[in-house]
Each structure stands twice: as structure tokens, then as C-alpha cells.
Structure 1
Amino acid sequence: MSRKSATLNPKTIGADLRASCSLTHAEWRAVQGLAKGKRAADIAAAQGISVHTVRTHLKRAMAKVGVHSQIALLARVFSGLR
């Protein structure tokens, strides 16, 4: 798979990060939605959960990864593409 195609497929981006930080499936789905450029409300609607739950998943993912912002979380997710 080329780097360009990996960039376009958020399902494959950051798989190592997910494993190394022990993100749950729910946390990872929220991170993937964020990586696709979706808002918390859009992620929640797609998954049939509340916006509060999505935000909780993202906060827990940030804590596990060791970052304090969604931008930093995405930077860590996409850093494996370089």
C-alpha cells in the first residue's frame, strides 16, 4: 500500500498507535472519525451514541496517548505516515 493510499484510508492510519496505547474499539472509532474531519456530533450520530460519550472516548484516547489536545492526538495518529 502506498503512503498516499494510507493517507486516504483512516481505518489503516495509526494502527500501531492503537495497539501500543491500548485504545479500546470505541475510543479508536472516535479517533477515526476525528481523523476523517468529522465533528463530535457527526461521530455520535453515525455510531448511535451521545456527543458526551464521543467526547469521553476522545479524552480517554488523548490520556492514553499522552497528549492534551485533539490536534496533538491527530498528529500522533498521522506521524506514522512519514
Structure 2
Amino acid sequence: MTHIKRKIVTILTDDHIADAEKITILRQLEADSLSKERSATEGMTPVDGDDGEDLKTIENALRKLGQEPVEAGASSL
């Protein structure tokens, strides 16, 4: 399990964090992941094999909280 996946599980299962705050945290993780993915496609950073999986995990977590992930992918930011 990647660091991001562990972090997401911790966020989702923490009853002391309100859903709105969980969504805010997940949105930041989503933005960071999309930014990293975009910079990799532009040749700025090496491609990490887990980036796509991390983004899918973040998107699934957002859906569990009733949110839709960013639709256009890395180019949307």
C-alpha cells in the first residue's frame, strides 16, 4: 500500500474529522497528484509508477464522500 493510500484510509476512517474537512484534504491531494502528473508529462519530473493509482484512490475516496473528482485530468489545472 502506497503512502497516499494509507493516508486516505486514515482520513476516511477518522471519526474526529468532519466530512467537509475530509473533502478539503482529498481535494488538495487530488490537486497535488494532478500537478505532479502534469509536470511529468511536460518532462519536468520523473514519472512515478504509482501516480495514476494514487489519483484513482483519491477519486474513489471523493466519490465515497459524495463528491465528483476533477473530470479533465492533469490538463485541467
- TM > 0.5: no
TM range (shorter): 0.3 to 0.5
Larger radius of gyration between Structure 1 and Structure 2: 2
TM-score, normalised with respect to structure 2: 0.35
